[in-house]
Amino acid sequence: MDAKEDIRERLAIEDVIGEYVQLKRAGRTWKGLSPFGNEKTPSFVVSPDKQIWHDFSSGRGGDIFTFVQEMEGVDFKGALEILARRAGVDLDQYRQTGSRGLNTQTKERLYEANELACKFYQIQFSKNKTALEYVLKKRAFTKDTALVWRLGYSPNNGSALLDYLKGKGFTEKEVQLAGLTSKSYRGGLQDMFRGRLMIPLCDPQGRVVGFTARLLVDDPSAPKYINTPSTPLYDKSRHIFGMHLAKEAIRKKKYAVLAEGNLDVIQSHQAGVCQVVATAGTALTEPNVKALSRLTGDIRLCFDADSAGLAATERAIPIAGKVGGIQLSVITIPSGKDPDELIKQDVQTWQQIIEQPHYVVDWLIDRYAGSLDVSTALGKRQLSDVILRVVRQLPDTVEQDHYIARLASMLQVSKEALVNKLRGTTENIAPVRRRANQIKPTPVDKAISDKTRLEQHLMALTLMKPNLRDVLYTLDPEMFIDATARNAFEFLAEHPDFDGTKPEEVQKIAEYGKILSLVYETLYQDVESLELRSEANRLQTTLIHQYVRMQKQILAEKLQTADTDGAKTLLKQVRDLDALLRNTQQGEANGPKE
């Protein structure tokens, strides 16, 4: 993966563009007013699925990098640096190993360093009485559980792991890049983890990519948990703890339980309930949801019942809606226990409650209603403030209407009052968060943008509908002024039977093909085949007319200064253009070729 792909995976295109353009959800896409003109009807479309944007008013389009280039007035390198800062990507790690990022050999060295560190910690664990007592007695984990999860202990002598890995042939730079060391107060390197219980963090294939480390002695000045910092192998926002051991159970049970603590996950697995995983704290992210959605669309949250857990649950709703196809629900643990306590006391109750989750919006309504006095005007306002904020982020309008009706009945107010309140704030609109340093985009020449749009629409039709490609037979590459449209035309000329099944062909047109498919889906997806044929013929005819008119203007200027022989040549070109125009008009008169 190179830097560009790393950034693209971490950032949602609608969030990036939403910093510049006020976007409103429109089905699976987002729409807004074009930033390149002064239109009143939104023609600017963002597709999260395809990770592209397209401005139908000017014909411009691309990905997050081209958009930032346009809006900030920078080149690709400048856009890369802007977006890298936003995504938290360290470009230096890619520059050190070339434009393709860390090479396979370097990454394998980091995997090997983490694997050796894990084995080192396991050996130390077997020798440390404090760590063994905490795991086997206080946490009540079995020896088999400790082995399966590869629990370990980090010695508290400063550089034991670093010395061990150096003895195995690793450089200090490699150990630091793996996230296993930190700088000491004296300026040298020391072990990142010291005197802690070590819980390995693994990727979905079971390879160790980092560690969570828990303090084993009371020390008010030290954090209870610390994690591996961001490394080429470990990204906190993308990691799901226990996925490598839970994925088969999730597929089988067809749902996933998302807990808050790593040790809660281990306790549940020990009890035989293995469809349980955890994120880093309560920060559920879009990459987390996307990763789980590959296994199941049923995600059940089991966060603490405190204010942080409540806030995390609210934040999860729009994330699940953005990914799509996710049923989000909440597991309520009785008596305020955490999962670890409940599982140790009564595993059957744990199994029962995860089988009986509450749909997330219903759960939020019940939680807030239980803490507010909804008989008062203040309580009604506070509850409606919270719940309408959630309802506004639901992608389905029928579901929105259901909860407005429920809230109206609960608060004893009219649906109209709640609908008006919902509309009083910006419904389904992503806030524009950043305008201060925005460069005014280059204005678009109307004639050029009109022709660019025409060419894009023609290529969208012929790319997505192979039976319309015969309209391209009378065209030539020089008739296209837009370079990407011209390249697409030449691609279809070389691959007239292109159907998207051959990866080597798809790669040649991948980026522009996404834009053309978005144009087709927006304009033509529900149009009858006869109308599509008529539109393809119209676009072809218009393109040829524009080309002939432009060429005649050029020839007329040349005729004014041409000698006799030159004039004869120019006049022949004029006659050829007239013949092309007549043939086009005749073809148009013959009607559709279905």
- In degrees and rounded to multiples of 5, residue 29 shows phi and psi of -115, 175
Q: Quick one: average pLDDT of 11-27?
A: 86
Yes or no: say if 259 and 276 are a contact pair by the CB < 8 Å rule: yes
Give the fold, CATH level 3, of 3-95. Answer: DNA Primase; Chain A (3.90.580)
Kindly indicate whether the domain formed by 446-589 is annotated with CATH number 1.10.860: yes
pLDDT band at 513 (very low <50, low <70, confident <90, very high): confident
Q: Inform me whether the pLDDT recorded for 295 exceeds 70.
A: yes
The segment with the largest mean pLDDT, out of 306-310, 499-503, 517-521, 573-577, is 517-521
Number of H helices, E strands in the chain: 25, 17
Distance between CA atoms of residues 403 and 393, nearest Å = 12
Q: Locate 346 and state its tokens.
A: 């009564």
pLDDT tens profile 143-200: 999 999 999 999 998 899 999 999 999 999 999 999 999 887 777 889 999 999 999 9
User: What pLDDT score was predicted for residue 434?
Assistant: 47
User: What pLDDT score was predicted for residue 59?
Assistant: 83
CATH 1.10.860 placement within the chain: 446-589
Name residue 24's beta-bridge partners.
31, 429
Distance between CA atoms of residues 259 and 271, nearest Å = 15
Helix axes 377-391, 415-424, angle to 10 degrees: 60
Amino acid found at 420: N
pLDDT band at 529 (very low <50, low <70, confident <90, very high): confident
Q: Inform me whether the pLDDT recorded for 99 exceeds 60.
A: no
Kindly indicate whether the domain formed by 102-234 is annotated with CATH number 3.40.470.10: no
Distance between CA atoms of residues 485 and 254, nearest Å = 45
Q: Inform me whether the pLDDT recorded for 324 exceeds 80.
A: no
Helix axes 307-323, 377-391, angle to 10 degrees: 40
pLDDT tens profile 572-585: 887 888 887 777 76
User: What pLDDT score was predicted for residue 208?
Assistant: 95
The whole-chain average pLDDT of the chain stands at: 84
Name residue 226's beta-bridge partners.
213
**Using CA of residue 102, residue 106, residue 108, residue 109, what is the dihedral sign?**
negative
Q: Locate 293 and state its tokens.
A: 């959605």
Q: What is the largest CA-CA distance in the chain?
A: 105
Yes or no: say if 19 and 433 are a contact pair by the CB < 8 Å rule: yes
Q: Inform me whether the pLDDT recorded for 440 exceeds 80.
A: no
User: Strand 181-183 to strand 152-154: parallel, antiparallel, or no bridges (unpaired)?
Assistant: unpaired
Q: Inform me whether the pLDDT recorded for 128 exceeds 90.
A: yes
pLDDT band at 425 (very low <50, low <70, confident <90, very high): low
Model pTM score = 0.58
Total number of residues shown for the chain = 594
Q: Cα–Cα–Cα angle for 279, 281, 283, nearest 5°?
A: 75
Distance between CA atoms of residues 377 and 357, nearest Å = 31
pLDDT band at 443 (very low <50, low <70, confident <90, very high): low
Torsion of CA 272, 278, 281, 286, to 10 degrees: -160
Q: Locate 356 and state its tokens.
A: 């009986």
Distance between CA atoms of residues 230 and 233, nearest Å = 8
CATH 3.90.980.10 placement within the chain: 102-234
pLDDT band at 249 (very low <50, low <70, confident <90, very high): very high
